[in-house]
């Protein structure tokens, strides 16, 4: 039984692509996929950080890891990047759509430019990458796409105002379900991880400083703490692997219980 489970969780011989993979949650999930045996392509708009991330994954886990630059908001850029990946590393077996941004601000004070900036990365980027990679997966009859949404796609966060982010992540959740249903008969699975408040290298100073906003977040999180990037890794491997072979269109909340209350 243990051997069978280990085989199902293995990603040996697979190729995984992680957008926004240079830092934070993306890098942590890239490491987890590599630890499970997958070759990894780090996709990011930051070439210096992305190259360093790929080198670190290769060094630590002994798998083929490389960096490919991509702006997920560019239709041509996404098409070119996916072609470069498959020409250089082979067919993509796993796609993790992780690239994302957040802008805080009252809805009444938000500009259309700010709204479009968030939507273009968080939702349009997931659409463009999923469509480009999904076409290839469907034609081959296999593949797993893992979209990183957020608990913010299901609730309205307080006390901060972030309507554009919340709306974009709700869109990712529905895109996940829609693609899952469309591709269910073709051997391609599409699921989503919905993280809660996470303590990354970027947000660590904010959490460590504390204050009313952090206290509110932690009071509303039953586990009373933020998550850490490594706590998403096993979920990414599970959704990418055959261990979740009967799972598609699902949203996996990893939020310390926030959405349970």
Q: Give the active site residues.
A: 165
Question: How far separated are the first and last CA of the chain, in Å rounded?
Answer: 36
Name residue, tokens 């692509």: 17
CA 245, CA 252: separation in Å to the nearest integer?
15
C-beta separation of 172 from 151 below 8 A: no
User: Are the C-beta atoms of 38 and 240 separated by less than 8 Å?
Assistant: yes
3-state SS of the chain is: CHHHHHHHHCCCCCEEEEECCCCHHHHHHHHHHHHCCCEEEEEECCHHHHHHHHHHHHHHHCCCEEEEECCCCCHHHHHHHHHHHHHHHCCCCEEEECCCCCCCECHHHCCHHHHHHHHHHHHHHHHHHHHHHHHHHHHHCCEEEEEECCHHHCCCCCCCCEHHHHHHHHHHHHHHHHHHHHHHHHCEEEEEEEECCECCCCCHHHHHHCCHHHHHHHHHCCCCCCECCHHHHHHHHHHHCHHHCCCCCCEEEECCCHHHC
């Amino acid at each position: 039984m243990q051997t069978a489970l280990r085989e199902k969780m293995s990603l040996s011989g697979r190729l995984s692509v992680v957008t926004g993979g240079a830092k934070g949650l993306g890098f942590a999930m890239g490491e987890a996929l590599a630890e499970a045996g997958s070759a990894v392509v780090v996709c990011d708009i930051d070439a210096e950080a992305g190259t360093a991330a790929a080198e670190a994954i290769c060094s630590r886990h002994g798998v083929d890891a490389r960096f490919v630059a991509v702006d997920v908001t560019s239709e041509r850029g996404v098409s070119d990047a996916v072609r470069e990946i498959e020409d250089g590393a082979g067919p993509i077996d796993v796609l993790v759509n992780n690239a994302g941004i957040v802008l805080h601000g009252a809805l009444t004070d938000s500009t259309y430019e700010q709204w479009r900036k968030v939507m273009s990365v968080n939702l349009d980027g997931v659409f463009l990458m999923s469509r480009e990679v999904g076409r290839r997966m469907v034609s081959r009859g296999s593949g797993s796409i893992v979209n990183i949404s957020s608990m913010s796609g299901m609730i309205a966060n307080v006390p901060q105002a972030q309507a554009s982010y919340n709306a974009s992540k709700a869109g990712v959740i529905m895109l996940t379900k829609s693609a899952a249903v469309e591709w269910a008969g073709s051997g391609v699975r599409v699921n989503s991880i919905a993280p809660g408040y996470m303590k990354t290298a970027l947000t660590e100073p904010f959490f460590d400083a504390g204050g009313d906003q952090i206290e509110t977040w932690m009071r509303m999180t039953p586990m009373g703490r933020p998550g850490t990037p490594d706590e998403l890794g096993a979920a990414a491997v599970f959704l990418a692997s055959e261990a979740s072979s009967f799972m598609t269109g699902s949203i996996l909340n990893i939020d310390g219980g926030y959405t349970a209350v």
